[in-house]
Amino acid sequence: MSLPQVVAVVPGSPAALAGIIVGDEIAAVNGVVPRDVIEYRLLTDEADPEFDLRRGGLDLTVTAPKEAGIALGVEVSSAVFDRVRTCDNHCEFCFIYQLPPNLRKSLYVKDDDYRLSFLYGNFTTLTRFTEADLERVVTEGLGPLYVSIHATDPDLRARMLRNRRGATSLRWLRALLDHGVEVHGQIVVCPELNDGEALDDTLAGIMDRFPEMATVAAVPLGVSRYSKEAALRPHTAAEARAVCATIDRWQDAFLAGIGRRMVFAADEYYLLAARPFPEAEEYEGFTQHENGVGMASAFLAELAGQSTPFSGEQDRAPASGFFASVDGAPAEGYRAPRALIPVQSDQTAPACGAPGVQTPLSYSGPTVILTGEYGAEVLRTGLADLGRDDVVVEAVENRFFGGNIAVSGLLAGEDVARSLQAQPDGVRVLLPDACLSNGKFLDGSSLTELPRPVDVVPTDGTSLRVALDVVSRAA
């Protein structure tokens, strides 16, 4: 077990008043060695918690003066202090198997840990879930959780997970629902494997066995050029249309049967099928927004000036699926802080997203937005509706991953740099923040390594409207 290290302390917080500083290692709280940030939060939620700290080879004990329920004001270095429960499945469609070599080590970790599902919205197959895990989830109220379903037929699910426990592990989903735990599901739809009749069978199985589930997302298989699975291939447009039609039918069935739509198709299906996105209200709260379900519809609504649950958010986390109030939980996954600098309104804008670096807004050409190929389709539609013919949307081809990988969040720095070099002088270049995590692209490069300055804008329609308005007023 590694000790959590303090990486940030809020000035004036109980932790700061107690003398806790960045670099301290937390050995125990109230005499208890916490297993993870969830247990740590429960311990520090008490009044006047006592900390056993290690600092530069010294052991010391401090007490943080505070009332119960008041945030301590500390961020620690990891979410799990004992060991992340890794995945023992071998799914042929797992994207981790499709990553290129020599990326940062954390990208290759396959977790199947219910704690990370609770904290960050990671999907778990439940093949390593236990009675003890169920007891903890129920007694501590660890929900919502996110579960990878893929198929409800036992044999097909075991085949897809390449794990015989896949045939029986959905019993834990039934147990979670029986205890009132909110659960969201995901089906990665693979052509000629769990689409067509198998997808119908899966959705029928959900209605029959798991009707209490909150939502289920059908997301398309992603295939990079590094995939070694000969049977894997992207969806065709006809297959995407068939998936959308299946989801339409089952939404009607769920509406009639339980009063809500339950199942939703990822935005990529509508783009590939050349179908319009459903209206915002049809997503019933966008609970799987960060899973690519309704993201385009929400963005277009915001760009048009309408309000959504995500309007104006910047360090945006999943709509649900993490414990937003966990004092101390580190920024990981969707919570990772991106290189966001709010667009300025005083005729200055950040260069390369670097804090404190300002450059005059003196642009002789149009504004150019670099984004992924799917994002470009959505942006062009929204900007055309606004009549913004002064804005150029440039789709960045993802050569780093190749295959059918076309989302903005998987753009690498080398692909962005190549697109930047093709832009004429004098244009302002905007880049969505979804490309970055902790200021880094997936290939490890940073904004300062790009060949020219860019302005990083939060990936929501409201923020883009503000950014474009700044250019209009400056011009």
- The answer to whether residue 332 sits within a structural domain is no
Q: What distance, in Å, lies between the first and last C-alpha atoms of the chain?
A: 57
Give me the CATH number covering residue 34.
Answer: 2.30.42.60
Residue 17: give the domain boundaries: 6-76
Strands 145-148 and 215-220: unpaired
Tell whether 249 and 382 lie within a shared domain.
Answer: no
Q: Using alpha carbons only, what angle is made at residue 273 by residues 267 and 274, rounded to the nearest 5 degrees?
A: 90
- The answer to whether residue 334 sits within a structural domain is no
Using a 10 angstrom Cβ sphere, with 0-12 exposed, 13-18 middle and 19 or more buried, the burial of residue 262 is buried
Tell whether 127 and 183 lie within a shared domain.
Answer: yes
Whether omega for the bond prior to residue 144 falls within 30 degrees of 0, making it cis, is: yes
Q: Using alpha carbons only, what angle is made at residue 253 by residues 252 and 258, rounded to the nearest 5 degrees?
A: 105
Among candidate residues 18, 44, 76, the one where a domain is terminated: 76
Tell whether 264 and 354 lie within a shared domain.
Answer: no
The CA distance from 270 to 240, in Å, is: 7
Tell whether 153 and 47 lie within a shared domain.
Answer: no
Tell whether 224 and 269 lie within a shared domain.
Answer: yes
Tell whether 145 and 280 lie within a shared domain.
Answer: yes
Residue 388, phi-psi category: left (phi > 0), alpha (psi -120 to 50), beta (remainder): beta
- The answer to whether residue 13 sits within a structural domain is yes
- The answer to whether residue 388 sits within a structural domain is yes
Q: How many domains does the chain have?
A: 3
Residue in this structure with the two tokens 């753009």, named with its chain if needed: 411
Q: Is 0.85 surpassed by the pTM of this model?
A: yes
Tell whether 139 and 71 lie within a shared domain.
Answer: no
Strands 391-396 and 367-372: parallel
Strands 358-360 and 367-372: unpaired
CB 88 within 8 A of CB 112: yes
Closest CA to 120 of 236, 260, 269, 290: 290
Using a 10 angstrom Cβ sphere, with 0-12 exposed, 13-18 middle and 19 or more buried, the burial of residue 228 is exposed
Tell whether 357 and 306 lie within a shared domain.
Answer: no
Closest CA to 460 of 341, 307, 323, 337: 307
Helix (H) or strand (E) holding 395: strand 391-396
Among candidate residues 48, 76, 104, the one where a domain is terminated: 76
Per-residue pLDDT in tens (0 to 9) along the chain, 475 residues: 789 999 999 999 999 999 999 999 999 999 999 999 999 999 999 999 999 999 998 999 999 999 999 989 999 988 999 988 999 999 989 999 999 988 878 788 889 999 999 988 899 999 999 999 999 999 999 999 999 999 999 999 999 999 999 999 999 999 999 999 999 999 999 999 999 999 999 999 999 999 999 999 999 999 999 999 988 999 999 999 999 999 999 999 999 999 999 999 999 999 999 999 999 899 999 999 889 999 999 999 999 988 776 554 443 333 333 334 455 666 665 444 444 333 333 333 443 333 333 344 455 568 999 999 999 999 999 999 999 988 999 999 999 999 999 999 899 999 999 999 999 888 999 999 989 887 889 999 999 999 999 999 988 899 999 888 875 555 5
Tell whether 149 and 243 lie within a shared domain.
Answer: yes
From residue 110, give the alpha-carbon distance in Å to each of 152, 185, 212, 216.
Answer: 22, 18, 28, 22
- The answer to whether residue 336 sits within a structural domain is no
- The answer to whether residue 88 sits within a structural domain is no
The CA distance from 222 to 402, in Å, is: 10
Closest CA to 390 of 474, 458, 471: 471
CB 186 within 8 A of CB 287: no
Q: Which amino acid is at 142?
A: L
- The answer to whether residue 342 sits within a structural domain is no
- The answer to whether residue 366 sits within a structural domain is yes
Tell me the three-class secondary structure of 62-109, residue by residue: EECCCCCCCCCCEEECCCECCCCCECCCCCCCCHHHHCCCCCCHHHHC
3-state secondary structure of 60: strand
Tell whether 241 and 316 lie within a shared domain.
Answer: yes
Tell whether 71 and 211 lie within a shared domain.
Answer: no
Tell whether 37 and 114 lie within a shared domain.
Answer: no
Among candidate residues 326, 360, 384, the one where a domain is terminated: 326
